[in-house]
Amino acid sequence: MPAISGEQVALVRCNRYEPGEVRSALEEIFAFHGGIEAVVGSGKKVLLKPNLLSAVAPSKTVTTNPLIVKVVAEMIQEAGGKVFIGDSPGHDNQEKAHRICGLQEVIEATGAEPLYFSDPVYKQVEGYRLWEIPLAPELSRVDLVINLAKLKTHSFTGMTAAVKNVYGCVPGKHKARFHFEHPLPKDFSRLLLDVYYAVRPAFSIIDAVVAMEGAGPRNGRPRQVGLLMGGMNALALDVVAASVLGFQPEQVTTNAEARKLRLEGSDLESIIIKGKELEEVRLAGFDLGPVSKGRIGRLLALLPFARIRDFMTARRPYPRINPDLCSGCGVCQQSCPARAIEFCGSIPDIDYHGCIRCYCCQEFCGQGAVELSGSRSGN
Ligand code: SF4
Ligand code: SF4
């Protein structure tokens, strides 16, 4: 599958979700790429694809801040484009997610049309893991996609940003199926790259005004970063974003696989950074999360031999239910692709023989009750 060219990334300061400040930062990002007119073109139908993981309030930093979506929508409309907004949440229904994540207000204020993703159509590809990809049929209604990602830690891949955000174009249950069929991070990461290249967003923006650190992508803590980032190559954006947070770029498994495949945008040294210097904005003390932090996680990225790195990556922590936090809602059981969660009472029980350590349970537990630890007993 041919890579996406363009290895330029813009890093622009934006310290608050304030309309004027967001607009000015986004204008600067697009100006580095010839202006929004060069990206969108008059009369084009454009899908804005935010991160809509779950129906949670914007203050939780789980989803793309609605102000970013609103300002990009307005800019596209001013450039003569027609705006659509859509994503497939991991668990909640899309309408509810729009309402709670603040997107319904954006839809009403801008007149953008919501696209509710339905049963997929299969796109044939020559991918690194897949030969056909179930994609939302609504993608065929638009001329191009603009990818509006949120910067967060991720238990399975290390970090979620621009490349992983495109996975939301795979509707509902197929996302869980892929987790089950591709349980190793390196294989799943290649699959994510396949989906990214199949959708091929025309432009990607990462909302890192406030990012998420710790137990992302659902139960981490907000962390002020004060940046918006943008570029045509989502992979290059992710490599730079990882460096901003203090990862070695290859601690993020999609970056590592892309580097092995020598994809354009995967080598930090060859990326042209506009706006702020990387050294100027790199964070100190960002909590990289339960999988990536600690000595093993940091060493992983430095291991020279891919096979050793893959072996070490397979030795991932176990999910455990904290009964003090668990409400017994059952969302983890519904989201477990391996059907490894059962209820024998009010608290779920994990069958570790069946568990593939995909961490979907941790991702979708709204109580933060699924914790990751080095052993099944929690040590
Ligand atoms: S662990 Fe979380 S998702 Fe599972 S039942 Fe308890 S509260 Fe619900
Ligand atoms: S128990 Fe959790 S980590 Fe294990 S397979 Fe199920 S969802 Fe994935």
**Which protein residue has the closest C-alpha to ligand 1 atom 7?**
326
With a cut of 50, say whether residue 3 has pLDDT above it: yes
Tell me the C-alpha to C-alpha distance, in Å, between residue 62 and each of 59, 148, 361, 369.
8, 13, 15, 16
Ligand 2 touching residue 182 (CB < 6 A): no
Q: Strands 121-124 and 113-114, how do they pair?
A: unpaired
Q: How many residues does the chain have?
A: 379
Joined together, the tokens standing for residue 174 give: 């197929």
> Which superfamily does 8-281 belong to?
LarA, N-terminal domain (3.40.50.11440)
- Range(s) for CATH 3.30.70.20 in the chain? 317-379
- How many whole angstroms from 347 Cα to the centroid of ligand 2? 15
Ligand 2 pocket test: which of 358, 362, 364, 376 has the largest number of ligand atoms within 8 Å of its C-beta?
Answer: 358
DSSP label at 358? -
Interhelix angle 66-78/19-31, nearest 10 degrees: 60
**Residue 379: its pLDDT value, please?**
45
Contact 54, 91 (CB under 8 A): yes
* Closest ligand 2 atom to Cα of 359: 3
Measured between alpha carbons, how far is 90 from 364 in angstroms, rounded to an integer? 8
**Could you say which ligand is closest to the alpha carbon of residue 354?**
2
Contact at 8 Å (CB) between 37 and 79? yes
Rounded-to-integer distance, Cα 244 and Cα 224, Å? 12
DSSP 79: T
Residue 210 has pLDDT above 60, yes or no: yes
- What is 317-379's CATH number, 3.30.413.10, 3.30.420.40, 3.40.630.10, 3.30.70.20? 3.30.70.20
Q: Decide: 326 in ligand 1 pocket, CB within 6 A.
A: yes
Tokens coding 166: 């495109």
Would the CB of 356 count as within 6 Å of ligand 2? yes
DSSP 21: H
Phi-psi bin for 357: left (phi > 0), alpha (psi -120 to 50), beta?
left
Ligand 2 centroid to Cα of residue 53, in Å, is 17
Query: What confidence score (pLDDT) does residue 91 get?
Result: 76
What's the one-letter identity of residue 52? L
Angle (nearest 5°) at CA 218 between 110 and 246: 100
pLDDT, tens digit, 9 for 90 and up, residues 101-138: 999 999 999 999 999 999 999 999 999 999 999 999 99
| Residue 279 burial by Cβ neighbours in a 10 Å radius (0-12, 13-18, 19+) | exposed
Segment 250-274 mean pLDDT: 96
| pLDDT at residue 192 in the model | 98
Q: Is 365 in the pocket of ligand 1 (CB under 6 A)?
A: yes
Tell me which amino acid residue 78 is.
E
> Which ligand 2 atom sits nearest the alpha carbon of residue 362?
2
Is residue 9 within 6 Å of ligand 2 at its C-beta? no
Place 4 in a pLDDT band, splitting at 50, 70 and 90: low
Q: Which atom of ligand 2 is nearest to the CA of 338?
A: 5
Interval between CA 14 and ligand 1 midpoint (Å)? 35
Cα separation, 107 vs 98, whole angstroms: 9
Domain with CATH 3.40.50.11440 in the chain: 8-281
Q: Average pLDDT over the chain, rounded to whole?
A: 91
User: What phi, psi does 60 have (nearest 5°)?
Assistant: -80, -10
Could you count the other beta carbons within 10 Å of the beta carbon of residue 206?
31
Rounded to whole angstroms, the Cα distance separating 42 from 33 reads 16
- pLDDT score for 344: 86
Q: At what angle do helices 185-199 and 234-245 cross, to 10 degrees?
A: 130
Which of 336, 365, 371 has the most ligand 1 atoms within 8 A of CB, as the residue to mutate? 365
Query: Per residue in 317-353, pLDDT tens?
Result: 899 999 999 999 999 999 999 999 999 899 999 999 9
Please give the full DSSP string across 289-354, using - where no structure is assigned.
-TTTSHHHHHHHHH-S-HHHHHHHHHSPPEEEE-TTT-----HHHHH-TT--EEESSSSEEE-TTT
Whole-prediction pTM value? 0.92
